[in-house]
């Protein structure tokens, strides 16, 4: 068996799918979506095709090592997202060829289902409450929401009161809540806000500071009892290593479409387990990314909860997570949990004809730009 084709598809709302086909007709799907940079990831596949057309697709680890190390320059969001999509597709292909789920090839299941959470938006408590009720109707018992609007360096008690009221509105609907700071809060305010939120019993606070501010994150982690979560902007086990060593993180959030695919994220999860750190994979992406996450949840004992984008909140044009998926039940939450897929490979069946048709109208999605009240740039 040899790799005959490696195809990429830029499909709405902002996804990049990968299809690998072998000479005997075996195939697999993966997802290398990198929000706002699909063209760059697609360009990185030119080098991957040159290296791996003709290679044995069963040798997943050898392909991973060559793709990561063989080009001399390594790491970063673009190269790692391309490698992630390829890696997922190879696990899907191998599982399909052998007739077993990818988790079976990784050592078998440690659980039958995994708890899931979804995003809610809204600026006022009544909007938050309505959004929480809608998520409950979809089968969720946990949500994530913005901690703050776009903020300056200093805050006020009034602002903290507003954040607390919004969290309480979601909790009043029976939801457990994680709060995402998006790294948009500077250290002086992040410390105050994290302390003000501590009595609420949050699932976690995410990116209270940007991950490049390692020292500040360590300070906040030792200041409050609320679990600190981060990792969506880290791309390899080497990126995560200093956070484990310093005790700056309680929950890591590697993205299986950014951080080297199923292969690398399984290694990252194993490293986290040694430091008693939980895993909650980042996944505001498409169905193949989520399916890969569920393979990780099946095999990594320290996976605590899974993000998913059912009814994706920043979606346009009627697209959602289950577009292009034939067996939609595989990615549908029930009583707050997602089932571990039982079908071969990644466990989802993709409507290939629909993907090829959608690729004709390729998206040009770009990250929105936000500004603070004084007109300066704000983190998204």
Which residues carry out catalysis? Answer: 182, 282
Q: What are phi and psi of 8, to 5 degrees?
A: -125, 150
* DSSP collapsed to 3 states, 15-32: EEEEEEEECCCCEEEEEC
Query: DSSP label at 311?
Result: T
Burial of 51 (C-beta count, 10 Å sphere; 0-12/13-18/19+) = middle
Q: What are phi and psi of 16, to 5 degrees?
A: -130, 110
CA–CA distance from 9 to each of 4, 12, 101, 116, 286 (Å)? 17, 10, 24, 27, 13
DSSP line for 40-100: HHHHHHHHHHHHHTTS-TT-HHHHHHHHHHTTSS--SHHHHHHHHHHHHHHHHHHHHHHTS
User: Per-residue b/e over 311-348, b at no fewer than 16 CB within 10 Å?
Assistant: ebeeeeeebebbbbbeeeebbbbeebbbbbbebbbbbb
Q: Is 377 helix (H, G, I), strand (E, B) or coil?
A: strand
Query: DSSP label at 180?
Result: E
**Separation between Cα atoms, residue 155 and residue 160, nearest integer Å:** 8
Sequence-distant (≥ 6) Cβ neighbours of residue 152 within 8 angstroms: 186, 372, 373, 374
CA–CA distance from 77 to each of 41, 80, 152, 216 (Å)? 9, 5, 28, 23
Q: Name which of 48, 38, 35, 49 is nearest 9 in CA terms.
A: 38
């Amino acid at each position: 068996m040899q790799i005959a084709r490696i195809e990429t598809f830029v499909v709405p709302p902002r996804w990049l799918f990968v299809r690998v086909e072998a000479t005997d007709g075996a195939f697999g799907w993966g997802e290398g979506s990198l929000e706002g940079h699909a063209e760059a990831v697609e360009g990185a596949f030119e080098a991957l095709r040159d290296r791996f057309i003709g290679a044995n697709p069963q040798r997943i680890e050898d392909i991973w090592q060559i793709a990561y190390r063989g080009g001399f320059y390594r790491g970063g969001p673009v190269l790692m997202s391309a490698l992630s999509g390829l890696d997922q597709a190879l696990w899907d292909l191998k599982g399909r060829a052998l007739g077993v789920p990818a988790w079976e090839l990784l050592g078998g299941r440690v659980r039958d289902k995994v708890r899931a959470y979804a995003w809610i938006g809204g600026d006022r408590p009544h909007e938050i409450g309505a959004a929480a009720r809608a998520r409950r109707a979809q089968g969720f018992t946990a949500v994530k929401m913005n901690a703050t609007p776009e903020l300056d360096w200093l805050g006020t008690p009034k602002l903290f009161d507003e954040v607390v009221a919004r969290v309480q509105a979601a909790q009043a609907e029976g939801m457990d809540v994680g709060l995402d700071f998006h790294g948009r809060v500077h250290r002086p305010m992040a410390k105050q806000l994290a302390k003000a939120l501590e009595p609420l019993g949050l699932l976690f606070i995410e990116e209270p500071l940007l991950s490049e501010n390692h020292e500040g994150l360590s300070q906040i982690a030792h200041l409050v009892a609320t679990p600190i979560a981060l990792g969506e902007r880290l791309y390899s086990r080497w990126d995560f290593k200093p956070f484990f060593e310093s005790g700056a993180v309680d929950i890591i959030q590697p993205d299986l479409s950014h951080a080297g695919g199923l292969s690398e994220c399984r290694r990252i999860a194993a490293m986290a387990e040694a430091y008693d750190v939980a895993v909650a994979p980042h996944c505001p992406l498409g169905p193949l990314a989520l399916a890969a996450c569920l393979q990780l949840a099946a095999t990594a004992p320290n996976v605590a909860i899974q993000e998913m984008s059912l009814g994706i909140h920043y979606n346009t044009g009627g697209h959602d997570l289950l577009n292009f998926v034939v067996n939609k039940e595989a990615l549908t939450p029930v009583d707050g949990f997602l089932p571990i897929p039982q079908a071969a490979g990644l466990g989802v069946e993709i409507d290939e004809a629909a993907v090829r048709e959608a690729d004709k109208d390729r998206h040009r999605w770009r990250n929105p730009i936000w500004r603070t009240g004084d007109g300066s740039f704000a983190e998204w």
